[in-house]
Amino acid sequence: MISTVDHLIIAVQDLNEAEQNYKKIFGANPVWRGDHKELGTTNVIFNFKNTYLELLASKGEGLGAMLVNNAIEENGDGLIGVVFGAANITEASKSLIEKGFAITEISEGEGQNNNSKELRKWKNFFLPQELSRGIFSFIIEHTEGSLKKHDEYAYDSINKLDHLVINTNDADGFIQIYQNIFKIRLALDKVIEHWDSRMLFFRLNKTTIEVVEKRDEKEPKDSLWGLAWEVENIKEAHKRLTNNGVEMTSIKKGVKENTLVSTIKSHTNNVPTLLIEHTN
């Protein structure tokens, strides 16, 4: 039913500052800057091999502006949403309705690039609480226009999203939704004893959704935590970032075999961010 992690959304108060931060982190320019007039928001988009990242700020009035303003008032800048892609949104909606979920009507959206005046159009519907469980998320199908793709990625720049990290207090319920309802492949389910936690790894469009369970007695709830971005050469990426004033931890071996990692400590607009190189 769901075919991609279509994009991720970071709410920011100062869009210009956030754009400059992520130009440094990614080592690339955004491919889109536009407005959603009916939502009261403005955005900047960076595109990658397997997904895109949207920096979203309030501009005027509307449901989008309310979402951004409330998120920033509560937690400051940060990761607020994950959007899933469907090849056929009508069939996706029908499937969920047949399973007894109250799905909002499919709506149509439009965005215009402020520089090129290019239009993009899409259809989407929002996921109900029993499926989103605290995460702002919706399903989208792009119907017209597209984002510019980079012809190539520099060896010291970000080229793709390696994984998205989600926290949960109910791994079994998460599996029921993401594997059995959304039809996303569960690649691994394991207990990490020295962390006293259970971890799930879902895979789609060359992206991993990493889920970390910390059980409690509260009602089931999920929350977005952080992002890991893949680079071809982490040593050169680390050098580029530190030379541009970005604070980094030293490079070390990752938990996953044949990986090198470094944590970005600044310029992330409060999003826990990891760089990762797969060495084999």
Phi, psi of 17 (to 5 degrees): -65, -45
- What are the structure tokens assigned to 71, written together? 């998120």
Show the CA angle centred on residue 147, arms to residues 145 and 152, nearest 5°.
140
Q: What percent helix, strand, coil does the chain show, rounded to 5?
A: 20, 40, 35
Largest alpha-carbon pair distance within the chain?
54
Strands 119-126 and 273-278: what pairing? Answer: unpaired
Distance CA 276, CA 159 (A): 11
Domain borders along the chain are 4-144, 158-278
**pLDDT at residue 150, as a whole number:** 82
What Cα–Cα distance (Å) separates residue 210 from each residue in 6, 61, 73, 225, 278? 16, 35, 27, 10, 17
Q: What is the pLDDT of residue 72?
A: 97
**Residue 96 and residue 110 in contact, taking contact as beta carbons nearer than 8 Å:** no
Per-residue pLDDT of the chain (280 residues), as tens digits, is 899 999 999 999 999 999 999 999 999 999 999 999 889 999 999 999 999 999 999 999 999 999 999 999 999 999 999 999 999 999 999 999 999 999 999 999 999 899 899 999 999 999 999 999 999 999 999 999 999 988 788 999 999 999 999 999 999 999 999 999 999 999 999 998 777 789 999 999 999 999 999 988 899 999 999 999 999 999 999 999 999 999 999 999 998 899 999 999 999 999 999 999 999 8
Return the structure tokens found at 144. 């017209």
> Tokens in use for 119?
């239009």
How confident is the model at residue 5, as a pLDDT? 98
CA-CA-CA-CA torsion sign (64, 147, 228, 134):
positive
Return the SS3 of 63: helix
- Tracing tokens 């709830």 back to the chain, one arrives at 221
pLDDT at 64: 94
With CA atoms as reference, report the closest residue to 171 among 114, 203, 133, 227.
133
Q: How far is CA 185 from CA 35, 129, 206, 212, in A?
A: 34, 22, 11, 16
What dotted CATH number matches 4-144? 3.10.180.10
**Would the CATH topology of 4-144 be identical to that of 158-278?**
yes
What pTM was computed for the model?
0.96
How many angstroms separate the Cα of 149 from the Cα of each of 40, 86, 163, 186, 211? 27, 20, 20, 29, 29
Three-state DSSP class for 90? helix
Look up residue 7 and give its two tokens: 């994009």
CATH number of 158-278: 3.10.180.10
The C-alpha atoms of residue 255 and residue 43 are separated, in whole angstroms, by: 34
